[in-house]
Amino acid sequence: MIHSANADASHDSCKPAHNEVLAMHARDALPEGDIFDTCVAVPGMTRAVASSLDLPPKTIVNSTCTAKKNLEPECSIYIRGLIGPPITDIQRKELYEWTEEIFRSALSSNTIKPSPRLMTLLGKPAHEKDIHWVEIMCPVLNQALDSLATDLDVDGEARDHFGLNSISATSDSPLEYFVLDSHPIPAAVLYLYYVALECILHSHRTGNRNMLVLNPQFHKSLFSLCHLCLRKATDHGQSFFTIHNTGSCPIVYYKLVEAFLQEMTLPSFLKQVFRHIQEMIVDSLWLVNFDDCINNNTNNNLGSSFVSMINKLRERPSNWPLACLRQICPIKLMNCASNDAPAKECMFVSYMVQKLLAVIERRLKELCAILSLPNIDTVGEKSLMVFTSLMCYRIDIFFNRHPDQIMLCTLYAVCTKMKLAPHTNFRTIVHAYVQKNSSYLSHSVVHNILYSISNCSEGGGVGDILSLYNVSDYSISKLLFRDSETNFKRIYFSAHFN
């Protein structure tokens, strides 16, 4: 149950039409303005590379994640091609009851304001000259509500309700909002925001709590996340949507989603949706135009900040947080490789690599299960070891590529070494991959992952998964079996496989 943060007299209960109203406005149009791709590894192609794989090539321009530049410095993530997950009747009922409870609580009084507990968590400035959280949160929430009213096409007299004075900044009723029964969605989003803020702040220590409270981007991102939560609760089938106000660092946004999932009591369907969004963020971190990233310091790309962190750490080998992977498997990343290492970059890279390896481990197990391999755990473990070794010694091959492309190559290499061919070959692995993602990614996204891989054909052009393994200058087979400098064959295929 969700407990109301309101303390005023009750109104009529929430009308069932609120779900329909929210769903009607939840369908995003294609983003306008300047668009820049973040999935450089999966561009459209006019002619498919010759291949023996069964997945038919097609002409398409698609990407899994695109950022939109606004007039403000905040970033948005444009998601396309994320399907499902499939929703059961039980989940649909759970979603309906949860959404109705949100609206009922939001409309149960004339105003919405922070609960006494949240007010305590927000605290007071330690010194009289210190900035007060009202000065941070009030303009952020007013702007967020104004933008939401614009998205909902609110007009007439009701439009004047939203803007610079929607949220009260008075000392006796800080952050109070007067509810309009005719426009319940802003009230519901604000109510959910206050609930989420209270849960997240309660889980943090005082020092970290103050950093969050005084961070405008944190409040923008959390409000946007709550709006997305209600949209996905009422429109289950959206395969494209925009996540606004994610901030300039996708890793920080990823961690906010993680905190949101851990601290909030959400329907199981919404948990699945946000886990899928997190995985898509992890995948997209590597998909950046590497040359542009080197020559351009602007963060106009979802993955540019992450790749820049990696390059900064690689400038000094002693700072490289993945050095410990050369001796340790399963993975146990160090918080920092040396006292001189940049703490922020080291922490962020280690954190996201851990998340990626956990995702790859699960995906490998699912693929092995679909392939009905006789020793699923062994194949999955050894494939993860090879994947990890590539990340440790040659992380550059991950740039501009989807991690699944490397994963499929390592799985094939392990099956070859363990003499599971010809029953398990690239064709069967690709079929298993398509089957695994049929209820998660659109066909066009899966097609691009398998057929539109940059710098993996002769001459550095676009190729397919077989080209990545066999033909390219950075072919996986060459790195694993023929490149003496990396010593993969000696370290992994002798010590661990025999």
The pair phi, psi for residue 385, each rounded to 5°, is: -65, -40
Residue 457 lies in a domain: yes
Residue labelled with tokens 């962020």: 348
What's the rounded Cα separation, in Å, for the pair 201 and 217? Answer: 15
pTM (whole model) above 0.85: no
- My answer on whether omega of the bond before 317 falls inside 30° of 0, hence cis, is no
**Residue 352 lies inside a defined structural domain of this protein:** yes
415 Cβ neighbours under 8 A, 6+ residues apart: 373, 379, 421, 424, 425, 429
User: In this predicted structure, what is the pLDDT of residue 35?
Assistant: 26
Number of domains in the chain: 1
User: CA dist 376 to 20, 361, 385, Å?
Assistant: 45, 12, 14
Give the separation between CA 99 and CA 24, rounded to whole angstroms. 15
pLDDT of residue 32: 31
Q: Is residue 437 in some structural domain?
A: yes
441 within some domain: yes
**Are the CB atoms for 408 and 386 separated by under 8 Å?**
no
State the sign of the Cα–Cα–Cα–Cα dihedral 320, 480, 291, 39: negative
Residue pair 263/197 in contact (Cβ under 8 Å)? The answer is no
Which pLDDT score, from 0 to 100, does residue 15 have? 37
- State how far the Cα of 285 lies from the Cα of 283, in Å rounded to an integer: 6
Per-residue DSSP letter, 41: T
Q: Which of 312, 191, 211 is nearest to 252 (CA)?
A: 211
In a domain, 466, yes or no: yes
How much is the pLDDT for 302? 56
Beta bridge partners of 79: 65, 241
Domain-embedded: residue 16 = no
Q: From first to last of the 498 residues of the chain, give the pLDDT tens digit.
A: 444 344 343 334 433 344 443 343 333 333 332 222 222 222 222 223 333 344 333 322 233 333 333 334 457 888 877 787 788 999 999 999 999 999 999 999 999 999 999 999 998 776 666 788 999 999 999 999 988 888 888 887 777 777 767 888 887 788 999 998 888 999 999 999 999 999 999 988 766 788 889 999 999 999 999 999 999 998 876 667 788 888 878 888 999 999 999 999 999 999 999 999 999 899 988 876 533 333 333 334 555 678 888 888 877 766 666 665 544 344 344 444 444 446 777 888 888 988 999 999 999 999 999 999 888 888 999 899 889 888 887 888 888 889 999 999 999 988 988 888 778 888 999 999 999 998 888 888 899 999 988 777 666 678 889 888 887 666 777 777 765 545 555 555 554 554
Which pLDDT belongs to residue 172? 79
Cβ atoms of 307 and 290 within 8 Å: the answer is: yes
Is 3 exposed, middle or buried (CB count within 10 Å of its CB: 0-12, 13-18, 19+)?
exposed
- Where residue 392 sits, what CATH number does that domain have? 1.10.472.10
Give bridge partners of residue 111 from the DSSP assignment.
178
Helices (H), 107-153: 116-122, 133-151
228 occurs within a structural domain: no
Strands of the 35-37 sheet, one edge to the other: 35-37, 65-69, 75-80, 240-243
Provide the pLDDT for residue 492: 53
240-243/75-80 β-pairing: antiparallel
Q: Which domain holds residue 461?
A: 301-491
pLDDT for residue 301? 52
How many Cα atoms are found within 13 Å in the side-chain-facing hemisphere of 429?
Answer: 27
